[in-house]
Amino acid sequence: MLRCLKIASRLATWPSSAGAARTFATATTSGARGGSTKGLRLALSVGLGGGLAVTGVYLSDEPPYSVVSRVSIPLLHLLDPETSHNLVIAAAKSGLVPRDGSPYSPSLETKVWGKAFTNPIGLAAGFDKNAETMESMLGIGFGFVEVGSITPEPQDGNPRPRVFRIPEEGAVINRIGCNSHGSREVSKRIQAFRDRTADTREGVLGINIAKNKTSEDAAGDYVQACRLLADKADYVVINVSSPNTPGLRNLQAGTELAKIVKRMKGALNEVAPGVPLVVKIAPDLAPEDKKQIARVVLRHKVDGMIVSNTTVSRPGSVQGRESGKEKGGLSGRPLNEASTALIREMYELTSGRVPIIGCGGVSTGLDAYNKIRAGASLVQLYTGLIYQGPALVPKLKRELSHLLERDGFESVDQAVGADTRVKKGFFSRFW
């Protein structure tokens, strides 16, 4: 009860401090069109509802994340997607999110690039674009968190509205366009996070970087951001696959990708030797493009791939929905099967020699498990959180642990690539 009162007191006083008030005001008004009174009332109701949900955690027999998810998701969905996202970021920045207290499962431990992961479930880039919520997101149970995409210079992204929910499909279409505070500002936040967690080194942190929209020197942009950010990262991601930056996906072509990789490798050797370099690719690739990417990855010793980004294709079920014809990248359940198929294909094209982070449509433990069996060493999600909230993360871990045990795998490692034609040998064991 004492803890409950402390939380309630904190919620009651949170907006009264200058910093928190600014955060809350920005979150509630930036997404409400025209700063309307209706939008503000809705935002405040979500803030109050979220506060009651957190307080209610201590008066309920349910796990904290279940209460918060059950109460807050319907309230957040009263708002437009970007406003509700801003509110979630504001709450996470202030520590108003539950921590995962579920039992620890040794079978979920894994090691990639010589780094220990407590579990293979990670937060994909796009949720925390400006590195504001890392501790909170690790606290809800993720084994790793990827921030970004971060551009060298600040940019606003595309005009609003630019995010659209498709709840019937568990999907989202976005055309945000890499809105970013810029690498200098974000670098300071990440350094502060590293300083705060120096003793514990909690979780694994990936930093995803992209070029500025108007830049004509893509490789130069990646290198500029890399020099500011890479020494604070556990791995660095080159985003060459967002569909919302004009011309970006052209950088996946063999020669263009090779140029960027070579320059990034040089920069990493100077500022952060040993930090793994990862390439994030699109799901909408022609067969020859996939082969070219695999050749570049192997020839230039790229350390990993994220498979995949959002898709510009629209399955029939999505097209029939109200927002289904909006332009932008589609994420969520409709992407799941295509992304898993591409994981299997890229794993086979690289003979299992390059670790893959599977991303796209993960909303159940089975989705994550299928991606691991297809060749993913790690798995990421984002859209699933929009519909299931923080309860999703411990649920995925429970389900994944059960599936591994059911099929006789003692660890995630043993299941990687189980459904492919690649024979586990020297490279698949030691990469």
Q: Render pLDDT for 282-302 as a digit per residue (tens, 0 to 9).
A: 999 999 999 999 999 999 999
Q: Residue 223 in contact with residue 267, Cβ under 8 Å?
A: yes
Q: Residue 90 in contact with residue 82, Cβ under 8 Å?
A: no
Residue 303 confidence (pLDDT): 98
Q: Cα(23)–Cα(86) distance, rounded to whole angstroms? A: 9
Residue given tokens 């993720």 in the structure block: 142
Residue 68 confidence (pLDDT): 63
**50-54, 68-72, 266-270: segment of lowest average pLDDT:** 50-54
Confidence of residue 222 (pLDDT cuts 50, 70, 90): very high
Indicate the length of the chain as a whole number: 431
Highest mean pLDDT (candidates 45-49, 51-55, 72-76, 414-418) = 414-418
Q: Render pLDDT for 179-212 as a digit per residue (tens, 0 to 9).
A: 999 999 999 999 999 999 988 877 899 999 999 9
Q: Residue 240 in contact with residue 281, Cβ under 8 Å?
A: yes
**34-38, 70-74, 173-177, 380-384: segment of lowest average pLDDT:** 34-38
Element (H, E) at 316: helix 316-319
Mean pLDDT of 145-166: 96
Q: Cα(36)–Cα(199) distance, rounded to whole angstroms? A: 45
* 72 has catalytic annotation: no
For all residues of the chain together, what is the average pLDDT?
A: 85
Q: Residue 377 in contact with residue 112, Cβ under 8 Å?
A: yes
Residue 27 confidence (pLDDT): 42
Residue 201 confidence (pLDDT): 73
Residue 427 confidence (pLDDT): 43
Just give the CATH number of 104-430: 3.20.20.70
Q: At residue 103, does pLDDT exceed 50?
A: yes
Residue 66 confidence (pLDDT): 63
Beta-bridge partners for 379: 121, 358
Cα–Cα distances in angstroms (integers) from residue 60 to residues 53, 258, 310, 385, in the given order: 10, 55, 38, 22
Q: Render pLDDT for 9-22 as a digit per residue (tens, 0 to 9).
A: 443 334 333 343 34
- For the chain, the structural domain boundaries read 1-98, 104-430
Structure tokens at 376: 């993913």
To the nearest 5 percent, what fractions of the chain are helix, strand and coil?
50, 15, 35
Closest-CA residue to 338 (of 285, 294, 400): 285
DSSP string, 95-138: T-SPPP-PPP-GGG-EEETTEEESSSEEEPTTSSTTS--HHHHH
**155-164, 250-259, 346-355, 419-428: segment of lowest average pLDDT:** 419-428
Q: Cα(193)–Cα(210) distance, rounded to whole angstroms? A: 21
Mean pLDDT of 229-256: 85
Confidence of residue 110 (pLDDT cuts 50, 70, 90): very high
Cα–Cα distances in angstroms (integers) from residue 215 to residues 152, 222, 235, 412, in the given order: 10, 11, 24, 41
Mean pLDDT of 73-96: 91
Structure tokens at 353: 């020699």
One of 242, 331, 339, 428 is an active-site residue; which one? 242
